[in-house]
Amino acid sequence: MDGSSGDDGNTGEASSPLRTIGKALEMAAAGDTVTVKAGTYNEQIVIPDKNPAPSLSAPLVIRADPAGGPVVLDGTGVELVVEGTLENPAGVSIYRDGAVVLEGFTITNYSGYGVAVQQSSFATVKGCTFRSNGTGMADAVDLLVISSQGVRVLENAFEGTASSERAIDDRSTDTWIAYNDFTGYRSSCIKVGPAPAGAGCRIEHNRFTGNPATEGVVLLDRARAVVVTRNILDGGSLQGIRLEQSTDCRVHMNT
């Protein structure tokens, strides 16, 4: 799809691109790949329930075109609608879906969460850049993972600003958070819990640089069975990894 030359009356094939991501997702099915051309897209994206019985072999992939320039999802002026039971809306909502891959976007300036994964299984958020989301929330958060299972958060850049409270709030099970970069967050970069939410979360091979993080760069808040390993924490906070009333957690081989 192409925001500059596409048309939502087209077929959606490479030679007949659509204009909006929302229209592309209406037409997509599990196993399809939606490729988004370079440009800035001012819209809320709700990924519909295309794969209720998650199949990792046939995911719905929404991908920024790797051959083009930046693909920016910009929430400036976008009036967000709440999906599901969230208190706050999100720029991108993955709701009651499975095996969805969101890859390669810059997600910025949304008044709610940048991305919310809710009641979904085996979704992947990969290679995205998060910046200046949650501006209309009491606690500005870029990525919420809630009531879900097996979500993977991989190779993203989380860039906090003066108003950024937290990069990731994990209230799910078996979340894998790995190979991400975090900088500039005020409260914490990753918050997990309270149990039973957050059980089985694995946080590894991430780099945390220059985060004031008054609650700890990684905060395990009454969490259970969480592993924090092989991360690099460099400057900015008096508390690197904080365990608050947490049990059966392993923290080892961090620098």
Q: What is the pLDDT of residues 126-152, one digit of tens each?
A: 999 999 999 889 889 999 999 999 999
Question: Whole domain around residue 161: which residue ranges?
Answer: 38-252
CATH number at residue 64: 2.160.20.10
Q: How confident is the model at residue 55 (pLDDT cuts 50, 70, 90)?
A: confident
Which residues have CB under 8 Å from 46's CB, separation 6+? 22, 25, 81, 83, 93, 95
Q: pLDDT digit string (tens) for 218-248?
A: 999 999 999 999 999 998 777 899 999 999 9
Alpha carbons within 13 angstroms on the beta-carbon side of residue 73 total 31
Note whether residue 17 is domain-resident.
no
Q: How confident is the model at residue 22 (pLDDT cuts 50, 70, 90)?
A: confident
Note whether residue 24 is domain-resident.
no
* Residue 23 in tokens: 């229209």
CB 236 within 8 A of CB 209: yes
Long-range contacts of 227-231 (CB under 8 A, 24+ apart): 227/201, 227/202, 227/203, 227/251, 228/203, 228/204, 228/252, 228/254, 229/202, 229/203, 229/204, 229/253, 229/254, 230/204, 230/205, 230/254, 231/203, 231/204, 231/205, 231/206, 231/207, 231/255
Note whether residue 98 is domain-resident.
yes
Note whether residue 15 is domain-resident.
no
Provide the pLDDT for residue 26.
87
What is the domain count for the chain? 1
Note whether residue 210 is domain-resident.
yes
Residue 11 has pLDDT above 80, yes or no: no
Note whether residue 19 is domain-resident.
no
3-class secondary structure, 193: coil
Note whether residue 14 is domain-resident.
no
Note whether residue 26 is domain-resident.
no
Q: pLDDT digit string (tens) for 154-197?
A: 999 999 987 789 999 999 999 999 999 999 999 999 999 999 99
Span between the terminal Cα atoms of the chain, in Å: 43
